[in-house]
A and B are shown apart, each in its own frame.
Chain A
Amino acid sequence: QQQVKQSPQSLIVQKGGISIINCAYENTAFDYFPWYQQFPGKGPALLIAIRPDVSEKKEGRFTISFNKSAKQFSLHIMDSQPGDSATYFCAASNRGVRGGADGLTFGKGTHLIIQP
């Protein structure tokens, strides 16, 4: 049972455009939703995260939109740059249980290519 569904699997965006990646979750106990960015040969690194008590969080060109009733959240990358080309993973955790110490549930990832 896949608890976090991510789409699309791959995405090509022109430089300067908006990249949008979507995720949906099933477990209503999830209360922490991070996005990770991974470059080839590297480990994932936290990009931005949101809690369900807010509907949007913005950090620079990166924005998370969160819809609690629909159990969906998305990552928007504004003014996409070639350096943003990477694999992006959404994830979810129940921080109410031991501070989330039982780990993250990841989506399957989106391979993003920004064409110059």
Chain B
Amino acid sequence: NAGVTQTPKFQVLKTGQSMTLQCAQDMNHNSMYWYRQDPGMGLRLIYYSASEGTTDKGEVPNGYNVSRLNKREFSLRLESAAPSQTSVYFCASSEAGYSAEAFFGQGTRLTVV
């Protein structure tokens, strides 16, 4: 059982380049999330998808777009990368419900130079 799988694990981009971070879960969860983690800032929600076919903005959505491709996959796209987007990105999934646990992937470390 792989859980939540993110690709790539590491990426270096030049300012202005675009890229897509991929995320897939095999737990049949309805909800999926993208967070970014910066030193001293905790994890901040970028976008989420409560269920297949829906996406919503989180706390820090500017500069990002998302696609819920199907129930398993949720991708995050940077159209024109900026140094401020240097961060560790985590994808997570959970089932809805009062005590549902959110499961996180291993993260993608992105550096924009």
> What separation, in Å, do the CA atoms of A51 and B100 have in the docked complex?
12
A32→B98 contact, CB < 8 A: yes
CB under 8 Å from chain A, chain B span 59-82: 59
CB distance from B3 to the nearest CB of A (A): 9
* Interface size counted on chain B using CB atoms at 8 A: 32
Determine whether B42 belongs to the interface, using a CB cutoff of 8 Å to chain A: yes
Determine whether A95 belongs to the interface, using a CB cutoff of 8 Å to chain B: yes
Cβ-defined partner of A43 (8 Å) among B41, B97, B107: B107
CB under 8 Å from chain A, chain B span 3-44: 4, 30-31, 33, 35, 40-44
Contacting chain B: which of A13-21, A59-67, A72-80, A103-111?
A103-111
* Interface size counted on chain A using CB atoms at 8 A: 26
A43→B45 contact, CB < 8 A: no
> What separation, in Å, do the CA atoms of A95 and B54 have in the docked complex?
18
CB distance from A47 to the nearest CB of B (A): 10
How many residue pairs, one in A and one in B, have C-beta atoms under 8 Å apart?
A: 75
Determine whether B84 belongs to the interface, using a CB cutoff of 8 Å to chain A: no
- Contact flags (1/0) for B79-113 with A, using CB distance below 8 Å? 00000000000101010111111111111000000
Cβ-defined partner of B43 (8 Å) among A34, A41, A44, A95: A44
Determine whether A49 belongs to the interface, using a CB cutoff of 8 Å to chain B: yes
B51→A101 contact, CB < 8 A: yes
> What separation, in Å, do the CA atoms of A89 and B23 have in the docked complex?
22
Cβ-defined partner of B45 (8 Å) among A34, A46, A103: A103
B98→A102 contact, CB < 8 A: no
Q: A32-B98, A44-B90 are in contact. Are A101 and B40 (CB under 8 A)?
A: no
Of all chain B residues, the one with the shortest Cβ separation from A9 is B40
> Residues of B with Cβ closer than 8 Å to A?
4, 30-31, 33, 35, 40-45, 48, 50-51, 56, 58-59, 90, 92, 94, 96-107
> Residues of A with Cβ closer than 8 Å to B?
6, 9, 32, 34, 41-46, 49, 51, 89, 95, 98-109
Nearest 5 CB-CB pairings of A with B? A99-B96, A43-B104, A101-B50, A106-B42, A108-B42
